[in-house]
Amino acid sequence: MFACAIGIFVIAQYCLLSKSSALVESCLNNVRLRLLDKIFGADLLPFEGMGRPKLYYVFANETLAISQATTTIVIAGQAGLMVGCSIIYLAIISRPAFFLTLLFTGAGTLLHLQMSQRMQGDMAESVRKEHAFLDLLQQLLAGFKEVKLDGKRAVGLRDSLRATSESLMDLKVKSTNHFNKHYIFSQSSFYILIGALVFLLPRFSEAYSEVLRQITATILFITGPLTGFIGAIPIVAAANVAVANIDRVERELGGAQEKLPLEVLPATTQQFQQIRMRDVVFWYGEPGKVGFKLGPMNLTIEQGKVLFIVGGNGSGKSTFLKLLTYLYSPKEGSMLRDGIAIDDTNYPEYRNLFSVIFSDYHLFDRLYGSPEYSLEKVNELLAEFQLAEKTKLIGDHWQTTDLSTGQRKRLALITCCLDRKPIYVLDEWAADQDPPFRRYFYETILPDLKRQGATVIAATHDDHYFHLADRILKLDFGQIVPYENDTNRGQRS
C-alpha cells in the first residue's frame, strides 16, 4: 500500500505540474502573440509615446514572473488542500480543537489577504520605478560616447540612476518587510494555537486529553504546508502585478490600433503618376494643446522626379516625410494618389509605394519579405556601394551588419533597391557618407534611380548638389516657403 501510494503521488504530482505548466505557457504564448499583433497594428504616433522600456519589460519580465510563479502556485494550492483536509480531520476527532483552529486559520487568512493587497500596491510602484530605471539605463547605453566625453553629464546621469535605483531598493525592502512582519506574526499565532490546544483545552474537557496526541500531531503535520502556503503569497502578488501590467499595456496598444488589421496586406507594388496634398495640416498634441504644427500644405509630386526637402533643424522635414508616407495621417485636408483620396480603407496600398530610410532608421539583419532577387544583383549592388569586402548575403541573412554608420546606411539603401518600390524617401541619407561617396550618391546613384523611373524624395543640407534636383521644397517652422537660390531652373516652391 505504501509503494502504491508513493507511485500514485509521483504520477499525480508529475501530471499536475507538467499540465499546469503547459497550460500557463500556452496562455503566455497567446498573450505574447496578441501583444505582437497589436504592436504590428499600432499607429505610429501613439506608439511613439508609449516608450520602449515599458514594452521590453512586459515581454522580458512580466511574462517570466508569471511563468516562474506557476509551480509555486500549484504547490501552494496543494498545501491549502492539505490544510483543509487536516482541519476536517480535527472536526471529526474534536469539535473544540476544530473551532479553535478554524478561528486562528481564518484570522490569519484575512490578515494575509490584506497584506497581499498592500504588497501588490508596493510592487506596482516598484515596477514603475523599474521602468524609470530602464529608461535611464537606455539613455546611458545609447549615449555612452557622449557620457564619456562630458564629466558633468556623466555625474548627473549617474546620480539620477543611483537615486532611482535606491528608491527602487527602498520600495522592495518596504514590501519585503511588510511580508516579514505578517509572516512572523502568522508563525507566532500558529505556535500560540498549539499552546492553546495543548495547555488550555484539556482543562475544560477530560475527554479532550484522550485525543490530545492526535490533535497535536495533526497541527504539527500542517505546519509545513501552511508555511508553504504563506510563503507563496509574495510570488502570487508579483504574478498579479504582472498580469495587471500586461493588461494595462494591452489596453494602451488596443487604443493605438490603426483602422485596418495587419492581415489586410497591400497589393503588389504599383506605379503612380501624381501625389497631391490639398490643405494638409498636421500637429502634435491635443486640439487645445497644439505643439508643433505642419501646414497647411498644397503640393504636387510627379512620378520620376527628384525632389529635395531642405530647411533648418526643427523645420519639420522628418514630420513631413512621415506625413507624406501616411505614417502620420493628416489632421485636416486630404492626400490623393492619381486623384484617389487616401483614407482608412486604402492606406496600406499607398504606403507600399515607398521605400524609406529615416534618420533614425533600423537596419534589419535579413531581408524580411523582400520580393524575389538574384544573388548576382545583390553582389553587384554590394560592389557598387563599396561593401563587397565588408559583408555578403548568406541565404536571406547579411553576414554582418556591424559596420560604420555610413556603411550601414549604404546597406539599408541596397535593401531599398532590392525592394524595387516606385518612391525612395531618404532622410539625411548622405550626411554620414565620406565626400567621394557622397558625390557618387548625388551624381550617379540618384540619376540612375531616376532613369529607372523611380521618384526620389530626399531631405538634405548638401547645397553643393541642389542643382541636381528637379525641384526643391523648403520648410521653415512647418510652412512651405519660397526657395530663393534655385537660379538654375527659375523654379520656386
Q: What is the spatial distance between Cα 215 and Cα 219, in angstroms, rounded to a whole number?
A: 6
Domain that holds residue 402: 274-481
Q: Where residue 47 falls among pLDDT bands split at 50, 70, 90?
A: confident
Mean pLDDT (the chain) is 78
Q: What is the spatial distance between Cα 64 and Cα 344, in angstroms, rounded to a whole number?
A: 37
Q: Is the pLDDT of residue 489 over 80?
A: no
Q: Which of 204, 220, 254 is the last residue of a domain?
A: 254
Least confident of 26-30, 138-142, 406-410: 138-142
User: Which residue in this structure is represented by grid cell 485636408?
Assistant: 333
Q: What is the mean pLDDT of residues 95-116?
A: 73
pLDDT at 493: 42
108 in the same domain as 39: yes
pLDDT at 491: 42
Model pLDDT for residues 174-211, shown as the tens digit of each residue:
777 776 776 677 667 777 777 777 777 777 666 566 67
Q: Which of 220, 254, 288 is the last residue of a domain?
A: 254
413 in the same domain as 458: yes
pLDDT at 287: 60
Q: Is the pLDDT of residue 305 over 80?
A: yes
Q: What is the number of structural domains in the chain?
A: 2
218 in the same domain as 302: no
Q: Is the pLDDT of residue 486 over 60?
A: no
Residues 252-267 as b or e (16 or more Cβ within 10 Å = b): bbeebbbeeeeeeeee
In a domain, 263, yes or no: no
143 in the same domain as 89: yes
Angle among Cα 48, 168, 252 to the nearest 5 degrees reads 25
Task: State percent of the chain over pLDDT 90.
Answer: 1
358 in the same domain as 288: yes
Task: Provide the CATH number for the domain around residue 237.
Answer: 1.20.1560.10
118 in the same domain as 82: yes
Going by C-alpha positions, the residue among 38, 42, 48, 150 that lies closest to residue 360 is 48
Q: Is the pLDDT of residue 50 over 60?
A: yes
Evaluate whether 391 touches 401 at the Cβ level (below 8 Å). Answer: yes
Q: Is the pLDDT of residue 127 over 50?
A: yes
348 in the same domain as 202: no
pLDDT at 294: 81
Model pLDDT for residues 152-163, shown as the tens digit of each residue:
767 777 788 888
Q: Is the pLDDT of residue 269 over 70?
A: no
Q: Is the pLDDT of residue 462 over 50?
A: yes
201 in the same domain as 84: yes
SS3 content of the chain, % helix, strand, coil (to 5): 65, 15, 25
pLDDT at 490: 37
In a domain, 448, yes or no: yes
Q: Is the pLDDT of residue 392 over 70?
A: yes
Q: Is the pLDDT of residue 117 over 70?
A: no
pLDDT at 33: 81
128 in the same domain as 42: yes
Q: What is the mean pLDDT of residues 131-154?
A: 69
Going by C-alpha positions, the residue among 369, 380, 404 that lies closest to residue 392 is 380
In a domain, 265, yes or no: no
Q: Name the pTM for this structure.
A: 0.68
Q: Is the pLDDT of residue 386 over 50?
A: yes
Task: Provide the CATH number for the domain around residue 307.
Answer: 3.40.50.300
Q: Is the pLDDT of residue 64 over 80?
A: no
* Cα→Cα distances 344→38, 295, 370, Å: 17, 21, 25
In a domain, 488, yes or no: no
Going by C-alpha positions, the residue among 200, 279, 286, 225 that lies closest to residue 85 is 225
Q: What is the mean pLDDT of residues 296-316?
A: 85
339 in the same domain as 229: no
Q: Where residue 427 falls among pLDDT bands split at 50, 70, 90?
A: confident
In a domain, 264, yes or no: no
239 in the same domain as 344: no
16 in the same domain as 127: yes
- Strand 306-310 relative to strand 455-459: parallel, antiparallel, unpaired? parallel
Q: What is the spatial distance between Cα 204 and Cα 308, in angstroms, rounded to a whole number?
A: 98
pLDDT at 485: 59
Q: Where residue 261 falls among pLDDT bands split at 50, 70, 90?
A: low
Q: Which of 221, 254, 287 is the last residue of a domain?
A: 254
pLDDT at 492: 40
